[in-house]
Structure 1
Amino acid sequence: MSMWTKHHKKRKFGRFVLPAITIAFVSYFGYHSVHGELGLIATEKFEKRRIERVAELTRLTDGRKALERQVQLMSDGSLEKDMLDEIARYQLNVSKRDEIVIFNNYF
């Protein structure tokens, strides 16, 4: 009995297929991990916007507290006429001719 064997010629192209696929795979995901929608660059932009918005929120919260203090002073019944006059003049930017105006920016 004779044994038949089939000999295949080894191709040089075959040994580069797996490394080429691996390089393509790593390159694709590496690029998108830096430049993609949720990549490193986008994360830095999100963090910068978050810090800006936290600062804006703090500023707005402080302004709201100042306004709430003003409203509380006006609505508790203990408002004096000179304080009301001072607030109205400041808000309307009005003064008499013989007055000296010094702005403190606390309203």
Structure 2
Amino acid sequence: MPALGLTVLSFFGGYAVFGANGVLAYGEYQSQLEKRELYYQELDRKRAVLANRVALLDPRHANPDMVDEMVRQKLNVAHPDEVIVPLR
């Protein structure tokens, strides 16, 4: 009986240290967390850019330069002597 108890205890103890959610997996979780935080920061930056563009295209008070840029870009309308500088 004590050998069986020791076997069960060592199994669960080993799993607590070496298992998928064990102590040694903590470093992997930290690296995944850092990668996700960088990814979310990039998404927040892109969201801020899109929010700014939406604010500039608000129908109540649209920015004329932004509207002109969007129309020319979407319709591919430009004079031959004009130079269009893409901002991307």
User: If the length of structure 1 is used for normalisation, what is the TM-score?
Assistant: 0.54
Greater RCO (CA < 8 Å, at least 6 residues apart)? 1
Amino acid across the alignment from 2:15: H
1:94 and 2:72 are equivalent in the alignment: no
Partner of 2:33: 50
Contact 2:19 2:25 in 1 (8 A): yes
Greater share of helix residues, 1 or 2?
2
- Identity in percent: 21
Greater C-alpha radius of gyration: 1
Amino acid across the alignment from 1:37: A
SS in 2 for 1:104: coil
Q: 1:99 to 1:41 in 2, by over 3 A?
A: farther
Give 2:46's match in structure 1, choosing from 52, 63, 79.
63
Q: Unaligned 5+ residue runs, structure 1?
A: 1-16
Corresponding pairs, count:
84
Q: 1:41 to 1:94 in 2, by over 3 A?
A: farther
Partner of 1:41: 24
Give 1:73's match in structure 2, choosing from 44, 52, 56.
56
Contact 1:32 1:39 in 2 (8 A): yes
Amino acid across the alignment from 2:39: E
User: If the length of structure 2 is used for normalisation, what is the TM-score?
Assistant: 0.62
